[in-house]
Amino acid sequence: MTAGALAKAEVLAEALPYIRRFWGKTVVVKYGGNALAADKGAAGAPETGPETGPETGPAAAGGATPLQSFAEDIVLMCSVGMRPVVVHGGGPQIGALMDRLGKVPEFRDGLRVTDAETLDIARMVLVGKVNREIVSAINVHGALAVGLSGEDANLIRAAARPGGLGFVGDVEVVDPTILERLLSQGLIPVVATIGADAAGQAYNINADTVAGAIAVSLGAEKLVFLTDVDGLRADPSDPASLVRTASAGELELMVERGVAGAGMAPKARACAQAVRGGVGHAHILDGRVPHALLLEIFTDEGVGTMVTK
Amino acid sequence: MTAGALAKAEVLAEALPYIRRFWGKTVVVKYGGNALAADKGAAGAPETGPETGPETGPAAAGGATPLQSFAEDIVLMCSVGMRPVVVHGGGPQIGALMDRLGKVPEFRDGLRVTDAETLDIARMVLVGKVNREIVSAINVHGALAVGLSGEDANLIRAAARPGGLGFVGDVEVVDPTILERLLSQGLIPVVATIGADAAGQAYNINADTVAGAIAVSLGAEKLVFLTDVDGLRADPSDPASLVRTASAGELELMVERGVAGAGMAPKARACAQAVRGGVGHAHILDGRVPHALLLEIFTDEGVGTMVTK
Amino acid sequence: MTAGALAKAEVLAEALPYIRRFWGKTVVVKYGGNALAADKGAAGAPETGPETGPETGPAAAGGATPLQSFAEDIVLMCSVGMRPVVVHGGGPQIGALMDRLGKVPEFRDGLRVTDAETLDIARMVLVGKVNREIVSAINVHGALAVGLSGEDANLIRAAARPGGLGFVGDVEVVDPTILERLLSQGLIPVVATIGADAAGQAYNINADTVAGAIAVSLGAEKLVFLTDVDGLRADPSDPASLVRTASAGELELMVERGVAGAGMAPKARACAQAVRGGVGHAHILDGRVPHALLLEIFTDEGVGTMVTK
Amino acid sequence: MTAGALAKAEVLAEALPYIRRFWGKTVVVKYGGNALAADKGAAGAPETGPETGPETGPAAAGGATPLQSFAEDIVLMCSVGMRPVVVHGGGPQIGALMDRLGKVPEFRDGLRVTDAETLDIARMVLVGKVNREIVSAINVHGALAVGLSGEDANLIRAAARPGGLGFVGDVEVVDPTILERLLSQGLIPVVATIGADAAGQAYNINADTVAGAIAVSLGAEKLVFLTDVDGLRADPSDPASLVRTASAGELELMVERGVAGAGMAPKARACAQAVRGGVGHAHILDGRVPHALLLEIFTDEGVGTMVTK
Amino acid sequence: MTAGALAKAEVLAEALPYIRRFWGKTVVVKYGGNALAADKGAAGAPETGPETGPETGPAAAGGATPLQSFAEDIVLMCSVGMRPVVVHGGGPQIGALMDRLGKVPEFRDGLRVTDAETLDIARMVLVGKVNREIVSAINVHGALAVGLSGEDANLIRAAARPGGLGFVGDVEVVDPTILERLLSQGLIPVVATIGADAAGQAYNINADTVAGAIAVSLGAEKLVFLTDVDGLRADPSDPASLVRTASAGELELMVERGVAGAGMAPKARACAQAVRGGVGHAHILDGRVPHALLLEIFTDEGVGTMVTK
Amino acid sequence: MTAGALAKAEVLAEALPYIRRFWGKTVVVKYGGNALAADKGAAGAPETGPETGPETGPAAAGGATPLQSFAEDIVLMCSVGMRPVVVHGGGPQIGALMDRLGKVPEFRDGLRVTDAETLDIARMVLVGKVNREIVSAINVHGALAVGLSGEDANLIRAAARPGGLGFVGDVEVVDPTILERLLSQGLIPVVATIGADAAGQAYNINADTVAGAIAVSLGAEKLVFLTDVDGLRADPSDPASLVRTASAGELELMVERGVAGAGMAPKARACAQAVRGGVGHAHILDGRVPHALLLEIFTDEGVGTMVTK
């Protein structure tokens, strides 16, 4: 009997109380487009920056480890009885295709305008590319993942966001029926954040906001944001100012004061709204750490920021 | 009581035996990419031609009637207890995007080669555009349609087609579990014909072949091809030679003799294989006729070609 | 493609929203004994008249169309997912058998007295003859209808109506359990309006009243009276005074004022009580119009009188 | 503690093995029209005689004990987990109504001809009178019995018996679905032996034959004939020749030799066919003995004739 | 037909209303250790030796009949649809084994102290001996009984009784889930009254108290104590003072006044608490009377004391 | 992020394929009485000790860790979707109580004779002591374990082993119904190996044999023997001769040749019979290694001997 074997047994035995605690619990995980872009070997701008980072395309070299590692974590959660739901964005990938098509982004009052063509491109990329890659990475382990757009079975009812931004939408209501059904069959929904209004018109919606709304609609135990930073910082430029835990109120105060940083604000707001809406805990983790999800869920190791009610 | 009212009542009463006969029966409907392209006002080459017909893009003007009419038919079938499954291709739409991206098709021995970038484009268009438009058109009537790629829950296991054509695949096996589950919940699966192998690699697969394989795996009552011709002709150039009914054997003979026409051959082969595989009847209908599906299913009006065992 | 075919397709497509709206909804249909008598070629007095109209017996010649047409309508409703319940009377048929047996009706204060022998005759005719004929007409289309008397599984608990009228009863309580069970199995209950008290004593009960009470107990979406007049008239003798829609209150006022006409009063009262008791709408239709039920339910054609809350 | 109390406890304890053995088992009981006629105080011809015995009508005086006692037995069987099905005839009652209507029976080659009017009368009496009285007697104990005609849900598919006898039918096939459903809900089906052909035409069928066919279709554990004799006699005129047990073969031999007696022959044939068709045992009991069913089923007391395979 | 046969039929028919009234009802029966000791002839079989427990008990005569008779009663209750639960103690049997092991009971303030070794002995005897004998006696009739300790599936959560008595426990909470599951499968739980605290420490608990707590947790219809006296007496020394019925309040008053007698007090308190907690009726019966349970439940014969709310 | 955290995440990720492979699979684990004796720090003879022959187990160390560690493993298996069944013996504990009671073992032809008193003692110890301790150790983690004797719900039908050995039994048939039901509710059956014959007479049965028979009856994926040796040795005295894998045939050959060692023979025979009877694999592990079960099931670390078909 090697020492390594005994150590392995200890880790498994230590995971027992966590496995039992989360059995049957729903966890919504927001997986950022940057993580996927990084996965492909593309440098990728920080997710909080403009969505125009270069991508070297399907031929991109480099290790696929981050996405594969993420897929393993999701499958393990599923295997021990949890009910994970993946929600994803795809900013860098949308930017890359627009770039290739010579489509010049248009801004109004500093916000990107989404015309019909841009929406078409965003939908193709989110539903037909990013979503597919996540589904494929999971399904290597078995017939588990099912890709969904918010348009499927009227999952996300959207409305145009005021301000003449075109087909940028806000979540009006989430109907989680199709998610509940897939989860009850042991399947893992992977959701691209396109919504539709009653007339069938599609809208592109902020993925952080959708993740929070879905977590509330499912009464999830946890909402987890996998980002490319190490968590929320009291001072965005100071790694030592990482916030370990915060209440919804504290978080909202930070957003108001502007300390959360540009790209972090929607995540912080979504966390605060989720825990107020009944979600047990919300987390902002560093998705670049291998198996960050497993560490957060099955061990006492603290990673990133936890938001409580 | 107007004469019109009485006539309406008669039509409904006459539909009764058909409604009862097909209650709970599964019908797989292949909806061609050309039909959708036409829907957008694009002229579109005949589906049997090369997949490079011009498309005027999302801004294309024109009536949306054909897709809306098709969606109504599918919803009516669902409403009277049938279990429709939609399978679709998207050749013209793929060609249009490749064109815009300046991607030049490559051919080997007369067959198009699908490199990684072409596959990426095909998948974006099929899953992220064509599939979405069909789902949206149906869901105007309620939370009914769920878009699927063959990668979801390992629906279509594919293998590379021999011949150095790149990521062009053949159906290895269909696992209809996810379809059965959605159907049993009253939902309408809409399937984009991308498959994956065990390692998660995606392949583009001929939609006619996929439709046939899915119909067999579900033990469907009917397999219906909605095309842009009026049916199978003994002489492709002679409208008067329309074949009303044919057996699987007769069909295969026609394909062998080459009379079926280029684009019609895979449909004819899929029909023959489907009825041999247990599907009740296969049909090749003219999708340009409004409500062609309803006429075929709920009345005695003959439209197109019917294939029997 | 003939113009007729296109027109057929249009009618089916137009029925779609109605089919979807009424899926799974319960509809209680009162089918009068007069309609059945007419069916047999017997002239039959208007249902609102005395119950002694001549009947030429089983050998009566003539078309069976009205009953067959009614049966088709009920089966079509069932086929598209509705849950129809048929309630019927049988005044003319009871009168005919009494006549043949030389039984002279006895009246007290203008109301017919039902002695034990009369009850026996009424029960034989309602349960053993009228009910059977309706069940048979439906079951030509499949194993669908099940005949019930209110005595079965204690469906209708009755009490003697005060006034020394013998075995004429009032509905005390309806236990719809057996109806719910048959409906949940896709079967069509056909109810003869005999009730029983706790000691097992049977009573003859007004069929209009029973239809209303059953509709309320089932929380039905609709209660429909198929009569041999064209609806409720403000002036019974003036066809032009047909009332298209009325509220429960307006209806009760009409009954109070006596304008509803003798035979129409119990129907009008039952309609008013039903909509007050939670039934969506109540209708008084002309059962002589072929497929009147289909027109009312699946088209915008207005037939007869509709009562709303 | 009285001796009576102890004796009571012993009887209950002794019934235990029988209760356990028959839990969940189906028992088809044929209840003869004569028993019911007797119940009404009418003398009634022996059931084996012509069906024309006088009946004094609904006003007949006398104790209702036999029917009440029979109903108690059926309810007790149901209460301890058995699944009883009652099948009944009604010869004397049919004869009485024909008599009152002045309808003269017509015979051909010694067999009664059933014209349309006779069928109408038979159906009214069986379904609308005899069936009702049995249902009522049972339902005094709770919402248990549901009356059925063989026409309901296509329970009994019939065909005309050859020989120009009119609407006298033979059983073509029994569809026990509706019986299974009612039994699975703890309800007691009471079946009047009218059948229908595919066109909806009704036929009167021998109740003994129907009881046997239903027992076989349900895979019943027992088939019991309650008659007004003490069992099958080797010599019909000699009470001492009562046959206690017989095999199917022995029974058929007795019928062939004519020793079974006129009215007993169809019962004997039905018993033989039933045990050959998979029914556990068939019994011919004396229904005049109070609680004869309970004695046969729950004690070792032998009553009547038992037929084994 | 013998008179005995008729009498038997009468007893069965008379049991009908009781069988119907108690169908599906739960009855908790406390079976005392004395009854079982008596069952063995009490004469010091090797297994027990002289019975020196503090309970005096009657000098039980005879063989194993009482346990077998009890088992028959429980099985009959189960067979007619009731849901019996057996709870048992085992004081005499525990005392006998302690004696053989030379273990001297220790008392504090007149109460027996249960040290770890005594607990071990009590648990072995209750779970490994008394429980087994009851289970075996029942299972002679089929696969019916399942022995349980309160430790199984956390059925009885216990806490140490204050006062330094060692491992004597009080019921903290009953989780009836495992009982409900076994009952719903037609099985008969037989419960030994050992409980456990959250840390897994076992405690011996008074069986009368446990029986009452289980009855309340199951919402039982009846709680029955089978004892070795004829019921509760107003004057313990006067058989003529047997109390036939008492309310919870009257019972508590008797306990307070001390008239209930030493061994009867916990039973009386348990009865009072049970009916206050929602149990329909509580009974104290003389278990020495053969089939006392059957007489109480299925006949009008009064045996012992009945407690009502 | 510490290196320890990363290592933990790796172990969890590596367990993934094993967790997925064994989801829903049944594993029968035989837990020896020696392990439990060791657990208590009790000297206890080696399991094969006074009862039959020497077992070379090392001197068991003290502390309650082994049982707690075993309980954790069983609960973890349950938590990740496996269905564990525990079967146990208790030789040392039985010997200890017999010793205390001054009961001298009797042998016939070298085999222990089990008289009624010895059976009584064995049953008390197995069901009332060993079984309880295992159940308690598991239920610290939740309401999971339910203790069973083979007598419960007729789980193990036994017959006397020939040879005048008294109440030593052989397994006649296993009825796994009660196990299946508990497993389907997520509960963990813990089985003491007492069986009963049709008359209710109990027998003591070899626990190794019972474990094998139960594994076969459940169609288990694995049968695991936790012993106090490191596996099966080709030469019992040479640790280096440990057999890593063996086929059923090889195992039987070893038993025949006598190399398996006295106490190991029944385990070896049970392993061989189990894999021949359809069990996937059988294992003989060293239960003294902490979490030996986890290592065998969730890692590639080889521990002990694996038997394949």
Q: Is the CB of A77 inside 8 Å of chain F's CB atoms?
A: no
3-state class of E85 per DSSP? strand
Q: Is the CB of F19 inside 8 Å of chain A's CB atoms?
A: yes
A69-96: b (≥16 Cβ within 10 Å) or e: bbbbbbbbbbbbbbbbbbbbbbbbbbbb
- pLDDT of D2 above 90: no
Are A75 and F11 an interchain contact pair (Cβ–Cβ within 8 Å)? no
Neighbours of chain E (3+ CB pairs under 8 A): D, F
The C-alpha angle A169, A172, A175, rounded to 5 degrees, equals 120
pLDDT for F103-132, tens place per residue? Answer: 988 877 767 789 999 999 999 999 999 999
Which residues of A are less than 8 Å from F285 in CB distance?
none
CA E309 to chain centre: 21
Q: Closest Cα partner for C211 from C139, C283, C136?
A: C283
Q: Where are the alpha helices (DSSP H) in chain E?
A: 3-22, 33-39, 65-79, 91-100, 116-125, 131-139, 177-184, 207-218, 248-257, 264-276, 292-298
Q: Provide mean pLDDT across the span D44-66.
A: 37
Q: Could you give the count of Cα atoms lying within 13 Å of A66 in the half-sphere of its Cβ?
A: 20
Burial label, A124 (beta-carbon count in 10 A; 0-12, 13-18, 19+): buried
User: What pLDDT shows up at residue E43?
Assistant: 32
Minimal Cβ distance to E72: which of D1, D16, D80: D16
Is residue F172 within 8 A of residue F157, CB to CB? The reply is yes
User: What pLDDT shows up at residue A197?
Assistant: 93
CA distance F125 to F123: 5
Minimal Cβ distance to F294: which of A12, A69, A142: A12
Are F291 and A10 an interchain contact pair (Cβ–Cβ within 8 Å)? yes
3-state class of D96 per DSSP? helix
Minimal Cβ distance to E127: which of F128, F154, F198: F128
Residue A4 Cα, gap to closest chain F Cα (Å): 9
User: What pLDDT shows up at residue F106?
Assistant: 81
Which two structure tokens, joined as six digits, stand for C220? 């039905």
User: Do chain D and C touch: 3 or more Cβ pairs under 8 angstroms?
Assistant: yes
Single-letter code of the amino acid located at B184: S
Q: Give the number of other Cβ atoms within 10 Å of residue D256's Cβ.
A: 10
Q: Provide mean pLDDT across the span D270-278.
A: 96
CA distance F157 to F198: 7
Lowest mean pLDDT among A192-196, D36-40, F24-28, F38-42: F38-42
Q: Is the CB of A112 inside 8 Å of chain B's CB atoms?
A: no
Are E13 and D76 an interchain contact pair (Cβ–Cβ within 8 Å)? yes
Minimal Cβ distance to E128: which of F126, F154, F199: F126
pLDDT for E170-198, tens place per residue? Answer: 999 999 999 999 999 999 999 999 999 99
User: Do chain F and E touch: 3 or more Cβ pairs under 8 angstroms?
Assistant: yes
pLDDT for E105-153, tens place per residue? Answer: 887 776 778 999 999 999 999 999 999 999 999 999 998 999 999 999 9
User: What pLDDT shows up at residue A32?
Assistant: 84
Please report the DSSP string for C91-131 in residue order.
HHHHHHHHHHTTPPPEEETTEEEB-HHHHHHHHHHIIIIIH
- pLDDT of A230 above 70: yes
Q: Give the number of other Cβ atoms within 10 Å of residue A294's Cβ.
A: 26
Residues of chain F with pLDDT > 70, as a percent, come to 88
Number of CB pairs < 8 Å for A and F?
111
Q: Is the CB of E8 inside 8 Å of chain D's CB atoms?
A: yes
pLDDT for C262-280, tens place per residue? Answer: 678 889 999 999 999 999 9
Q: Is the CB of F110 inside 8 Å of chain E's CB atoms?
A: no
Dihedral pair phi/psi, residue F235, rounded to 5°: -125, 105
Please report the DSSP string for F116-172 in residue order.
HHHHHHHHHHIIIIIHHHHHHHHHTTSS-EEEEETTGGG-EEEEEPTTT-BSBEEEE
Q: Provide mean pLDDT across the span F6-32.
A: 89
Question: What top-level class would CATH report for the domain D22-225?
Answer: alpha beta
Q: Closest Cα partner for D68 from E23, E300, E298, C199?
A: C199
Residue E253 Cα, gap to closest chain D Cα (Å): 28
Are B154 and A136 an interchain contact pair (Cβ–Cβ within 8 Å)? no
Q: Is the CB of F142 inside 8 Å of chain A's CB atoms?
A: yes
Is residue D155 within 8 A of residue D148, CB to CB? The reply is yes
Residue length, chain C?
309
CA distance B84 to B25: 8
User: What pLDDT shows up at residue A47?
Assistant: 37
Taking the complete model, does pTM exceed 0.80, yes or no? yes
Minimal Cβ distance to A79: which of F2, F23, F299: F23
Are D126 and C128 an interchain contact pair (Cβ–Cβ within 8 Å)? yes
- pLDDT of D86 above 80: yes
Are B139 and A154 an interchain contact pair (Cβ–Cβ within 8 Å)? yes
pLDDT level of residue C51 (50, 70, 90 thresholds) = very low
Are F12 and A289 an interchain contact pair (Cβ–Cβ within 8 Å)? no
What is the radius of gyration, based on Cα positions, of chain D? 19
Minimal Cβ distance to F12: which of A23, A298, A303: A298
Mean pLDDT, chain C, whole residue set? 85
Neighbours of chain A (3+ CB pairs under 8 A): B, F
Minimal Cβ distance to F128: which of E128, E143, E178: E128
Minimal Cβ distance to A153: which of B101, B137, B143: B143
Which residues of C are less than 8 Å from D151 in CB distance?
132, 135-136, 139, 147
Neighbours of chain B (3+ CB pairs under 8 A): A, C
Question: What top-level class would CATH report for the domain C22-308?
Answer: alpha beta
**Which comes out higher in pLDDT, residue F258 or C21?**
C21
Mean pLDDT, chain B, whole residue set? 85
Q: Provide mean pLDDT across the span D207-212.
A: 95
Residue owning tokens 């008598």: C37
Mean pLDDT, chain E, whole residue set? 85
Are D69 and E13 an interchain contact pair (Cβ–Cβ within 8 Å)? yes
pLDDT for B46-55, tens place per residue? Answer: 333 323 333 3
Which residues of C are less than 8 Å from B80 in CB distance?
19, 79-81
Q: Provide mean pLDDT across the span B91-103.
A: 91
CA A114 to chain centre: 22
A133-144: b (≥16 Cβ within 10 Å) or e: bbbbbbbbbebb
D227: left (phi over 0), alpha (psi -120 to 50) or beta: beta
Are D295 and E8 an interchain contact pair (Cβ–Cβ within 8 Å)? yes
Q: Closest Cα partner for B207 from B187, B225, B228, B232?
A: B225
Lowest mean pLDDT among B146-155, D131-140, D230-239: D230-239
Q: Which fold has domain F27-308?
A: Carbamate kinase (3.40.1160)
Domain A21-308 is of which CATH architecture?
A: 3-Layer(aba) Sandwich (3.40)
pLDDT for E23-58, tens place per residue? Answer: 999 999 999 877 776 655 433 333 322 233 333 333
E174-205: b (≥16 Cβ within 10 Å) or e: bebebbebbbeeebbbbbbbbbbeeebbbbbb
User: What pLDDT shows up at residue E110?
Assistant: 67
Residue E242 Cα, gap to closest chain F Cα (Å): 38
Sheet containing strand A202-204, strands side by side: A169-174, A156-160, A194-196, A202-204
Helix, strand, coil percent content, chain D, rounded in steps of 5: 40, 20, 35
User: What pLDDT shows up at residue E106?
Assistant: 81
Residue A309 Cα, gap to closest chain F Cα (Å): 26
Q: Is the CB of E111 inside 8 Å of chain F's CB atoms?
A: no
User: What pLDDT shows up at residue E58?
Assistant: 35
Burial label, F73 (beta-carbon count in 10 A; 0-12, 13-18, 19+): buried
pLDDT level of residue C186 (50, 70, 90 thresholds) = very high
Please report the DSSP string for F175-201 in residue order.
-THHHHHHHHTT-EEEEE-EEE-TT--
Q: Give the number of other Cβ atoms within 10 Å of residue F190's Cβ.
A: 29
* A217 contacts: CB under 8 Å, gap ≥ 6: A174, A175, A176
Minimal Cβ distance to B128: which of A129, A175, A200: A129
User: What pLDDT shows up at residue D52?
Assistant: 31
Lowest mean pLDDT among B269-273, C227-231, D246-250, F185-189: C227-231
Domain ranges (residues) in chain B: 23-229
User: What pLDDT shows up at residue C2?
Assistant: 66
Are F147 and E146 an interchain contact pair (Cβ–Cβ within 8 Å)? no
CA distance F216 to A7: 33
The dihedral formed by the CA atoms of F41, F45, F51 and F56, expressed in degrees to the nearest 10: 120
User: What pLDDT shows up at residue E52?
Assistant: 31
Q: Which fold has domain E23-308?
A: Carbamate kinase (3.40.1160)
Query: For B23-229, CATH number?
Result: 3.40.1160.10
User: What HEC string does D38-93 produce?
Assistant: HHCCCCCCCCCCCCCCCCCCCCCCCCCHHHHHHHHHHHHHHHCCCEEEEEECCHHH
Q: Give the number of other Cβ atoms within 10 Å of residue E235's Cβ.
A: 11
Single-letter code of the amino acid located at A32: G
pLDDT level of residue F37 (50, 70, 90 thresholds) = low
Q: Is the CB of B3 inside 8 Å of chain C's CB atoms?
A: no
pLDDT for D142-154, tens place per residue? Answer: 989 999 999 999 9
CA distance E128 to E123: 7
What are the angstrom distances between the C-alpha of D95 and each of C130, D101, D229?
A: 21, 10, 21
Q: Is the CB of B145 inside 8 Å of chain A's CB atoms?
A: yes
